[in-house]
Chains A and B, each alone.
Chain A
Amino acid sequence: MSTVVAARRASGWKDTITALPWIAPTLLLIAAVVIYPTILMFQTAFVKYTPQGVERGPAGFANFNGPAGAFTFPTVPWPAIWTNTVVWVVVVVLATLVCSLALAQFLNKDFPGRKLLRLVVILPWACSVVMTTTVFNYGLQADVGVFNRLFVDTGILQAAQGFTKNPATSFWVAVFVAVYVSIPFTTYTILAGLQSVPGDVIEAAHMDGANVIQRYWSIVFPMLRPAIAAAMLINIINVFNSLPILKILNEAPGYHTAHTTTTLIFEYKVKLGPGVASALSIVNFGFCLLIIAIYLAVVKPTKEVQ
């Protein structure tokens, strides 16, 4: 008995060795460019660095809570940053979901030009977020911005506003842009999910007297759950890690009140050096791992390949 198991185990590892030439390059690249920098980041978090990146010996936990630590450095408005980070992720992800559910429902209808319209919807997904954000930044300039002129001409605003100069308004402009660039992927995921909703079930519900809203909430929406879960978790990671939108739209310098923990990492990297930036990165990394774990548990993306 045990020899059979042992033999099977041996042949199992032989399979793995045969597989190596095919999968080793992928493993090697992941090890070198994903795993190794992760280890480096953890090491760096416990070493003292100058802002220019010169090593100054072991730091213990000083990069976290020392006088110039990531969470204790004076003038960093932590309450605002925690609030922003939560608001940023929650509002952007939920607003994206609501808009995308409606848009997917519309694009799923049969009307001439539907295919062309779907292509237009991918524009913010295909175009670089940097370029899209740049257009919004230009349009919202107080002096030369076209959006500002449009707001004044249509009576929405009394006078042009410097939206991107003030952290309070720039944050909400960034929320809008983040929703805008997240809608295409989310809509496409929901559209894919809608393909799995059988038309005859809807017909039957209609015969039984269910109205549009009842049909949507009791049949369509439950069947969309896997697509919505996948889209939301991927969006949480993407939005949480989003750097260019907040960075480009926020022209206020320093530790202002429109930072999220992600943009603060890059501010720390320049002002306080890689040690402190790594300390904060570890917290962000932990959050990403948590979302990934939920994704693997809830969405079960591997069930098809088992």
Chain B
Amino acid sequence: MAYRGGVHKKPNPIATLIGALFVLLFFSFPYLLMVISSLKTREEITKIPPEYFPAAPQFDNYLKVWASQVDPGNSLLATTVISFGATLLVLLIATPAAYYVARFKFRGRMVFLFLVLITQMLQPTVLAVGLYQEFSQWRGYLVWVALILINGAFNLSFAVWIMQSFFASVPKEIDEAALLDGLTRVQTLFKVSLPLVWPGIVTAIVFVFVNTWNEFAAAFILVQDSSLQPLTVSMPRFLGMYIRDWQLLFTVATVAIVPVVILFALIEKRLIGGLTAGAVK
């Protein structure tokens, strides 16, 4: 039996309840404030001092925002395209690599794995100027392609690690039986191994998607054209600037966090193995 904190004793229910309520409130209050603020009127949110709650929740803020100065349509499109693009890219190139390193030993395998690990620890922030020098001439929609490549590259290693640990857990004999039945390696990967490791694939997909959705540094330095900026870059521009329609900003923030929170909740249990490269399970 795994360690559960106490010995024999049941945890004190009152203390546990108080602790649980504190944790619940502490980790949700900024997001509650985000949602509550998104339902205020402009007058309520700019009142000095502010009201805590809206007199009547303004659900139509979520409709008004699209035609307002905040204009989140383009940014939402940018974020969505870049996130789907990076996820697809990682899926296409990390899956075969993960399958192969899990199944075969070859000269250079450890070098490859070290390279992947180093990439996992590096971040676009520290290479931002180099990335700027490389991609600053990619104008127009090409800048989205640049961000797909960048997010793909920096999230690749997590995907390779988590997927190879899943591939490695499938017994080799299953593959060998399929090969004896006349399937090629590629067919074996698609028809036999992939269906067995889908939890690993889903974890990798979701992680890359959420990380790309939330990425800031590379997009900040590369995308000058405001109509092409993803949400993380375009939204903070409105802070403390000429518009005071904070409530609209928070509708966008809410729309931006809901899908990734749901996705993240789905893979919560499997994240650690990939992030610590399996050092902690």
Contact = CB atoms under 8 A, between A and B. Distances in A.
Interface of A: 12-13, 15-16, 18-19, 21-23, 25-27, 29-30, 32-34, 36-41, 44, 53, 103, 105-111, 113, 117-132, 134-139, 141, 143-146, 148-150, 152, 160, 184-185, 188-189, 191-203, 206, 215, 220, 226-227, 230-231, 234, 237-238, 241-244, 248, 251, 262, 265-266, 269, 274, 277-278, 281, 284-285, 288, 291-292, 295-296, 299-302, 304-306
Contact of A25 (B97, B112, B132): B97
Given A130-B216, A278-B129, A12 B47 contact: no
Nearest to A268: B129
B152 A29 contact: yes
Interface in B1-22: 1-8, 11, 13, 16, 19-20
30 contacts: A12-B106, A15-B105, A15-B107, A19-B108, A27-B115, A32-B153, A33-B134, A36-B130, A36-B134, A37-B130, A109-B6, A120-B24, A126-B261, A128-B214, A130-B236, A131-B232, A131-B256, A134-B236, A146-B50, A160-B49, A188-B271, A192-B276, A199-B3, A202-B3, A227-B280, A234-B121, A243-B125, A281-B126, A291-B121, A301-B279
Contacts of A285: 126-127
Contacts of A107: 23
Given A29-B149, A305-B278, A128 B11 contact: no
Interface string B81-115: 00000000100111011011100111111101111
Interface of B is mostly: helix
**Which has the most chain A C-beta neighbours within 10 Å: B49, B272, B276?**
B276
Contacts of A110: 4-5, 11
Contacts of B129: 41, 44, 265, 269, 274, 277-278, 281
A271 B104 CA distance: 51
**Which has the most chain A C-beta neighbours within 10 Å: B5, B16, B49, B231?**
B5
A192 B118 CA distance: 23
A278 B131 CA distance: 11
Contacts of B116: 26, 30
A26 B2 CA distance: 38
Contacts of A34: 119, 122, 127, 153-154
Interface string B31-53: 10110010000000111111010
Interface string B248-281: 0110010011001101110010011101111111
A128 B257 contact: yes
B31 A123 contact: yes
Interface of A is mostly: helix
A274 to B, nearest CB: 5
B31 to A, nearest CB: 6
B97 A149 contact: no
B107 A13 contact: yes
Given A30-B153, A134-B235, A134-B236, A292 B104 contact: no
B136 interface: yes
Interface of B: 1-8, 11, 13, 16, 19-20, 23-24, 27-28, 30-31, 33-34, 37, 45-50, 52, 89, 92-94, 96-97, 99-101, 104-110, 112-119, 121-123, 125-134, 136, 149-150, 152-154, 156, 160, 164-165, 168, 210, 213-214, 216-217, 220-221, 231-232, 235-236, 239-240, 244, 246, 249-250, 253, 256-257, 260-261, 263-265, 268, 271-273, 275-281
6 A-B pairs with the lowest CB-CB distances in the bound complex, closest first: A37-B130, A41-B130, A126-B264, A301-B277, A33-B153, A128-B214
Given A30-B119, A127-B260, A137-B239, A144 B133 contact: no
Given A266-B221, A277-B129, A299-B276, 18 more contacts: A18-B106, A22-B99, A30-B153, A33-B134, A33-B149, A33-B153, A40-B134, A108-B5, A126-B257, A135-B31, A138-B250, A149-B50, A160-B49, A192-B272, A192-B281, A234-B275, A243-B220, A288-B122
